[in-house]
């Protein structure tokens, strides 16, 4: 990980200082051929191909210097939330932490041992000469394979999974939102023989491809950003930005001075370019779409009569056959593997990919037209410009059949878990979002682990969303299946649950089934495959099921980054039964 400048805004505008991953020892962009980019280059791997990565924190002024100095963060870091705290001293003052900056990398969707998962408290600092002696240079969960040099960790990935569109990003406790927003993300594409036999459009980009190579399998990372007039990234430095609340802050109240409950940028960025275009030929294209936004849900559609043929989600191909959609809903961290047929369009045609999701927290579809993204800014994602057809690449085809997926079953009862929002009652504003258990209520991230799962067990989880918004819930280690969603009486259940939590005597935990208000709803067509992130809608129980086949410590959390950075994350542990 290094800091560099990149032309994200259109040519003629200032460059933007960002962070990105690249090959150790490569020059930075502008200094020679470089793999450093934001978002970062793609890992392209085969099923069962063992990969070892040394992740190096080089957020210093000059890694080649005998005494490198650490760089400050590009963005304001709130020290009053529960975060990595390298200084070992919780700070409750309203000024931002400046550095040194901890990092830890998580391959999102990877079936990986705990030591290489990128746990949020496994962070580490750069090897800088000016780090104060009282600082810790590693988090409490830091692990590494082999013998790492200072400022690095060696992780191992077995890639023992089906073909899938994964991604990697920073996961540091309490500053994931800052580090990902600064640029620390990229694709991790996993291939297998089943995919290779399907005659899909291709190729995808490869390192050292000849200039002018045409690509028909294109990873597309969609993110929203806001920029200052000098080209630098803007991110709020006060809670006032979100809802106008100007204090009092911690320690006088529970309200964090810098953290914002959500953040929505005013510029759409695709693969590190603002409102870009892609030249496409009149033929099939495979597009791997990632919602890499911090908080924004995307509702994607074309401005012309053009469909998405979806063949896969986060965990690989959909079961049995593709589905045709006129719009795609993607919550933060979700991916959609789609084929788009541009063959009916004449060269010179311009097609815009629109976003009709809201510029605000998402509840569910359909979106009120008055709530849709600004059609002049965040409502426009990118353009496809149709050009003359060539004979390059693999023409490919839309598959008529996809691999069958066996549905998971179990005799184990549902594990009931709650999604709640902590409010400041005097100001009536959100303080933090939290997870917990039905029995124990809301729990902070640091509370003892309540989800202890026997290795090899297949468990159903019942996610009870008491909040007013939808939350993309991500589980590490596993891919799961969505069973169903069940509507429930939020108001009555909330009242009875509050009485239960405040009771001084031993009373029975409320039974979720007593509050059901309608029939269970099956997963949507695009949710019937393997998932690692699921939308938990307000007013619904969301039931998922997974097989937990590897012992170790992991986490589950909301993937609205502002939420996971302020307590909407909990550990779970898979334990070996002796």
Task: With cut-offs at 50, 70 and 90, classify the pLDDT of residue 426.
Answer: confident
- What pLDDT does 508 receive? 86
Mean pLDDT of 212-236: 97
**CA distances for 480 relative to 9, 251, 320, 530, angstroms:** 38, 40, 17, 6
In the chain, DSSP finds a helix count (H) and a strand count (E) of 5, 33
Residue 363 has pLDDT above 80, yes or no: yes
The per-residue pLDDT for range 78-101, each reduced to its tens digit, is 999 999 999 988 888 889 999 999
Report the C-alpha gap between 433 and 181 in whole angstroms. Answer: 20
Q: What is the DSSP letter of 77?
A: B
Whether the bond between 203 and the residue before it is cis, its omega within 30 degrees of 0, is: yes
pTM as predicted: 0.96
**CA distances for 274 relative to 122, 128, 271, 382, angstroms:** 33, 33, 8, 8
β-strands 152-157, 441-443 pairing = unpaired
414: closest CA among 513, 499, 532, 533?
513
- What pLDDT does 255 receive? 95
The pLDDT mean for the chain works out to: 96
Mean pLDDT of 529-533: 98
Residues in CB range of 245: below 8 A, 6 or more apart: 239, 255, 427, 429
Mean pLDDT of 19-30: 96
Task: With cut-offs at 50, 70 and 90, classify the pLDDT of residue 207.
Answer: confident
Kindly state the percentage of the chain with pLDDT values over 70: 100
Count of residues making up the chain? 578
Question: Residue 75: how many CB atoms within 10 A of its CB?
Answer: 19
Mean pLDDT of 128-157: 96
- What pLDDT does 503 receive? 87
CA atoms 124, 126, 127, 132: torsion sign: negative
- What pLDDT does 91 receive? 86
Q: Which of 93-107, 186-200, 267-281, 500-514 has the lowest mean pLDDT?
A: 500-514
Could you list the beta-strand ranges (E) of 293-392.
298-302, 308-313, 316-317, 323-325, 328-330, 335-341, 350-355, 380-386
565 with 479: CB under 8 angstroms? Answer: no
Task: With cut-offs at 50, 70 and 90, classify the pLDDT of residue 505.
Answer: confident
- Give the N- to C-terminal CA distance of the chain in Å, as an integer: 41
Report the C-alpha gap between 431 and 428 in whole angstroms. Answer: 9
The per-residue pLDDT for range 430-482, each reduced to its tens digit, is 999 999 999 999 999 999 999 999 999 999 999 999 999 999 999 999 999 99
Question: Residue 248: how many CB atoms within 10 A of its CB?
Answer: 14
């Amino acid at each position: 990980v290094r800091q560099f400048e990149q032309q994200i805004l259109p040519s003629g505008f200032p460059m933007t200082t960002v962070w990105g991953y690249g090959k150790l020892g490569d020059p930075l962009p502008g200094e020679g051929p470089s793999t450093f980019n934001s978002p970062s280059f793609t890992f392209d791997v085969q099923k069962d191909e063992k990969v070892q990565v040394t992740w190096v924190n080089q957020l210093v002024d000059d890694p080649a210097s005998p005494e490198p100095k650490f760089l400050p963060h590009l963005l304001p870091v709130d020290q009053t939330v529960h975060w990595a705290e390298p200084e070992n001293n919780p700070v409750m003052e309203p000024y931002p932490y400046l550095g040194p900056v901890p990092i830890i990398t998580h391959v999102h969707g990877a079936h990986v041992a705990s030591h290489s998962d990128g746990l949020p408290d496994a962070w580490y600092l750069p090897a800088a000469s000016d780090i104060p002696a009282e600082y810790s240079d590693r988090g409490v969960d830091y692990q590494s394979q082999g013998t790492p040099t200072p400022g690095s960790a060696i992780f191992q990935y077995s890639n023992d999974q089906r073909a899938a569109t994964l991604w990697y990003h920073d996961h540091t406790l309490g500053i994931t939102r800052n580090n990902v927003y600064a640029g620390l993300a990229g694709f991790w594409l996993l291939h297998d023989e089943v995919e290779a036999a399907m005659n899909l459009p291709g190729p995808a980009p490869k390192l050292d491809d000849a200039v002018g190579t045409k690509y028909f399998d294109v990873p597309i990372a969609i993110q929203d950003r806001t920029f200052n007039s000098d080209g630098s990234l803007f991110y709020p430095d006060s809670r006032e930005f979100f809802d106008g609340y100007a204090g009092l802050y911690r320690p006088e109240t529970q309200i964090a001075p810098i953290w914002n409950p959500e953040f929505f940028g005013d510029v759409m960025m695709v693969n590190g370019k603002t409102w870009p275009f892609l030249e496409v030929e009149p033929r099939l294209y495979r597009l791997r779409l990632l919602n890499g936004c911090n908080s924004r849900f995307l509702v994607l559609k074309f401005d012309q009569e053009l469909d998405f043929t979806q063949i896969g989600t986060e965990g690989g191909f959909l079961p049995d056959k593709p589905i045709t959609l006129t719009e795609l809903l993607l919550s933060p961290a979700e991916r959609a593997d789609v084929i788009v047929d541009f063959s009916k369009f004449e060269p010179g045609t311009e097609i815009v990919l629109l976003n009709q999701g809201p510029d605000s927290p998402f509840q569910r579809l359909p979106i009120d037209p008055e709530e849709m993204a600004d059609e002049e800014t965040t409502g426009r994602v990118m353009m496809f410009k149709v050009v003359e057809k060539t004979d390059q690449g693999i023409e490919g085809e839309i598959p008529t059949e996809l691999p069958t997926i066996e549905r998971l079953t179990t005799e184990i009862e549902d594990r009931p878990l709650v999604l709640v929002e902590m409010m400041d009652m005097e100001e009536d504003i959100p303080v933090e979002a939290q997870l917990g258990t039905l029995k124990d209520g809301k729990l902070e991230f640091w509370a003892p682990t309540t989800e202890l799962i026997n290795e090899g067990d297949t468990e159903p989880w019942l996610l009870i969303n008491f909040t007013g918004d939808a939350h993309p819930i991500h589980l590490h280690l596993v891919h799961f299946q969505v069973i169903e969603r069940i509507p429930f009486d939020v108001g009555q259940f909330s009242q009875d649950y509050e009485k239960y939590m405040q009771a001084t005597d031993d009373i029975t935990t409320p039974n979720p089934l007593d509050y059901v208000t309608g029939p269970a709803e099956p997963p949507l067509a695009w949710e019937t495959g393997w998932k690692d992130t699921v939308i938990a809608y307000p007013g619904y129980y969301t039931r998922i099921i997974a097989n937990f086949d590897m012992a170790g410590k992991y986490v589950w959390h909301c993937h609205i980054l502002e939420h996971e950075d302020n307590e909407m994350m909990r550990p779970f542990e898979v334990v070996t039964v002796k």
